[in-house]
Amino acid sequence: MTVYQAPLEEIRFALGVSRCMNDQAAASNFEADEVDAILLQCSKLAERVFSPLNALGDREGCRFENVVVTTPPGFKDAYSIFAKAGWNGLGLPARLAGQAMPFAVAISISEMLNSANLSLAMGLMPTPGAIELIDRFGSERQKQIYLPRLISGEWTVTMALTEPQAGSDLGAIATRAYVEEGSLFIKGRKSLITWGEHDLTENIVHLVLARSPSGAPGVKGLSLYLVPKLRLEGGSNDVKCIGIEKKIGLKSSPTASLVFGENGGATAELLGKENGGLEQMFILLNQARLRVAAFALGSAERARQAAVGYAAVRVQGRDAQGKPTVIANHPDVRRMLTSMEARTEAIRFLIAYAASFVDGAHASLAETKVRLEILTPIVKAWCTETGFDVASTGVQIFGGLGYSEECEASQYFREARVHMIYEGTTGVQANDLIFRKIRLDGGCGARKLFSSIETSLMSESSVDDPGLLFVREKICASLALLKELTDSIVVQNGARLARLRANGAHYLMFSGTVLACWLTWLAATRATASDTRVADEFSRRKRKNARFLAAQYLAPAAALAESALSSRMFDLCEAGEIE
């Protein structure tokens, strides 16, 4: 098992690049020395506390017996160390006893914990969003009861949305709230609830999306409820775990099926206004989607480190002089290692860039909010698809050993697969991007994003490196095609909309590839600049990765998007020449 090492230099650099591209981020409370200290402390937590439990957790998993879930040895202590150190409060405002760090810093912390032990880190993900929801929509009484316990980590929280018969169709939710003798209760069943039952804390607060007592059919009749596992006045709250999933990965992250109200009703509290549940959940989901992208980054980085370590010691074949050599010297393995490094780096840049807009969006800055809304589905889908492919490449580098359960590459591959499903599949993200974002405002928000990329590409007049000039040329050509496809998407109607829904994922992935290549190019130009003060080797790797990404991935993504979405394709479909 490779010993995880937090890539602190890479994380610091990504934060700096994202800050340069966002005036709001540059103006935020972002003290470099303070951030460096926080990153260093988290790296110690990740490397010394979380990581040693990773392989053990995958091997032993969680146990379910008599409605009780037991996590692997060491998990409870690791969580206690995390909570007592105050990590839940990193991104919270000072009035909530937080450290008020920008969201980009908070999500960088997540990367390290995700890489170190993804199963354990998944249980931490919903808490910051839940704290924000209760702070914004909760009554004073709810704030006094729930916020201190969630911030301290005394209680954990879940997002209880999914139901067996509904899946992603929230309008089909059947769990219902009802009033009896003046008290509010919840009755129904939820499935696939991450960390829905565990032994890390005594109490678990379930954020339950359910139909209001007089709620209309569909999504308009949904409200959000606080349903603790234990009643506030003491005793069980009729929330029962009936089993945990036997998954191909993330075996020490219990995914529970929960029954509410089987024996008389689970006591609940309405959060915010009645029938406003969907609006509130989307606030939580949008942040969660960026955090899932960070899950993918954790998987990719861990898989990359493992592949690099193995390729450096695995002797197989001979070099040009006929001497035995490690596989890292074989050209095809070098290509795969470069692809893993370049794409992992691109994922990190994309997440940092999107995260830099979160604080401005919270401050109700209209243009910042629109930019974040455009970026979120792209970042979630592109990063998770790419992260899984990076983990898959890691298995390839390990060869036959990589396909064995005894190999760490197998674990990272299995764990990375769920990211593309979690919090909305790639198809769901594509439909969100195209129909709820781009078409809804006539493509205005997307055009402003493209314009900012174009301005950035043209403003770096000092670029004289031939390789970076090549990359800029490639990005400019791809950006022109992306703008053309976006304009086409805005005007599609009738039967073509079904084709758009079927092929929207290709457009999203092309958009993500253009953004990734731009940010990687920008990073390379900043690393090359004389005043950046980065080591020559670091700068060289940044230029290499920018060239590799543009040369290897822009053209295939562009070809797929164009073939799926161009006017010519639609014309052929309507003429019946292709299906």
Is residue 100 pLDDT above 70, yes or no? yes
Look at residues 243, 274, 305 and tell me which one is the last residue of a structural domain.
Answer: 274
Interstrand relation of 222-228 and 315-318 (parallel, antiparallel or unpaired): unpaired
Same domain membership, residue 169 and residue 147: no
**pLDDT score of 231:** 94
Q: Are 283 and 362 in contact (CB under 8 A)?
A: no
- Residue-wise pLDDT for 383-421, tens only, equals 999 999 999 999 999 999 999 999 999 999 999 999 999
Mean pLDDT of 464-471: 90
Kindly tell me the burial class for residue 324, based on how many C-beta atoms sit within 10 Å of its own C-beta (0-12, 13-18, 19 or more). Answer: exposed
Q: Helices 408-416 and 277-311: crossing angle, nearest 10°?
A: 160
189 and 64 assigned to the same domain: no
Average pLDDT over residues 237-257: 97
Rounded Cα gap, residues 424 and 522, in angstroms: 30
Residues 185, 87: one domain?
no
| pLDDT of 84 higher than 50 | yes
Beta bridge partners of 203: 155
Contacts of 239 by beta carbon, 8 Å cutoff, 6+ apart: 206, 227, 228, 229, 258, 259, 260, 266
CB 423 within 8 A of CB 381: no
Q: Are residues 206 and 133 in the same domain?
A: no
Binned at pLDDT 50, 70 and 90, residue 448 comes out as: very high
Q: Strand 222-228 relative to strand 239-244: parallel, antiparallel, unpaired?
A: unpaired
What pLDDT, in 10s, does the model give residues 520-567? 999 999 988 755 556 789 999 999 999 999 999 999 999 988 887 765
Residue with tokens 């029962």: 240
- The answer to whether residue 25 scores a pLDDT higher than 70 is no
Structural domain contains residue 44: yes
Look at residue 309 and tell me if it is in a domain: no
Q: Which residue numbers are catalytic? A: 423
- Mean pLDDT, the chain, rounded, equals 92
Concatenate the DSSP letters of all residues of 169-236 into one string.
Answer: -GGG---EEEEETTEEEEEEEEEEEET-S-SSSSEEEEEEEEE-TTPPSSGGGEEEEEEESB-TTSSB
- Element holding 65 (H helix, E strand): strand 63-65
Contacts of 520 (CB under 8 A, 6+ apart): 342, 345, 346, 349, 542, 545, 546, 549, 550
Claim to verify: residue 128 and residue 162 sit in the same structural domain: no
CATH of residue 169's domain is 2.40.110.20
- State both tokens at 416: 């990375």
Please tell me the pTM assigned to this model.
0.94
Q: Please indicate, yes or no, whether residues 60 and 187 belong to a single structural domain of this protein.
A: no
For the record, the structure tokens of 2 come out as 């490779």
Question: Do the beta carbons of residue 492 and residue 568 sit within 8 Å?
Answer: no
In a domain, 324, yes or no: no
Quick one: pLDDT at residue 465? 85
549 occurs within a structural domain: yes
**Host H or E run for residue 500:** helix 496-528
pLDDT tens-digit map of 344-353: 999 999 999 9
Whether residues 72 and 212 share a domain: the answer is: no
The answer to whether residue 304 sits within a structural domain is no
147, part of any domain: yes
Residues 187 and 132 in one domain: no
Number of structural domains found in the chain: 3
Evaluate whether residue 322 is within a structural domain: no
Beta strands 155-160 and 203-211, pairing class: parallel
CATH number of the domain enclosing 540: 1.20.120
Does 570 score more than 60 pLDDT?
no
Residue 26: pLDDT band with limits 50, 70, 90: very low
| Cα 383 to Cα 294: distance, rounded to the nearest angstrom | 8
Say if residue 472 is in the same domain as residue 575: yes
Please state, in angstroms and as integers, the Cα–Cα distance from residue 429 to each residue in 107, 278, 381, 385, 436, following that order: 20, 17, 6, 12, 10
Claim to verify: residue 571 and residue 434 sit in the same structural domain: yes
- Higher-confidence residue: 265 or 64? 64
SS (H, E, C) 335-355: HHHHHHHHHHHHHHHHHHHHH
Tell which of 251, 274, 297 closes a domain: 274
Alpha-helical segments (H) within 277-330:
277-311
The CA-to-CA distance between both ends of the chain, in Å, stands at 48
Q: In this model, does residue 31 exceed pLDDT 80?
A: no
Residue 518 has pLDDT above 80, yes or no: yes
Domain limits at 100? 8-152
Average pLDDT over residues 486-511: 89
Q: What pLDDT is recorded for position 459? A: 84
Choose one of 152, 178, 200: the last residue of a domain: 152
Give the largest CA-CA distance in the chain. Answer: 86
Indicate whether 13 and 44 sit together in one domain.
yes
Percent of the chain with pLDDT over 90: 77
Residue 494, number of CB atoms within 10 A of its CB: 7
Residue 32, phi then psi, degrees to nearest 5: -60, -45
pLDDT digits (tens, 9 = 90+) for 137-194: 999 999 999 999 999 999 999 999 999 988 778 888 999 999 999 999 999 999 999 9
pLDDT tier at 27, thresholds 50, 70, 90: very low
Nearest to 206 by CA among 173, 243, 161: 161
Query: Residue 21 falls within a domain, yes or no?
Result: yes
The whole-angstrom separation of Cα 518 and Cα 539 is 16
Give the C-alpha separation, 423 to 318, whole Å.
46
Do residues 465 and 523 both lie within one domain? yes
For residue 8, which amino acid is it?
L
- Residue 33 contacts by C-beta under 8 Å, 6 or more apart in sequence? none
The pLDDT score that the predictor gives to residue 539 is 92
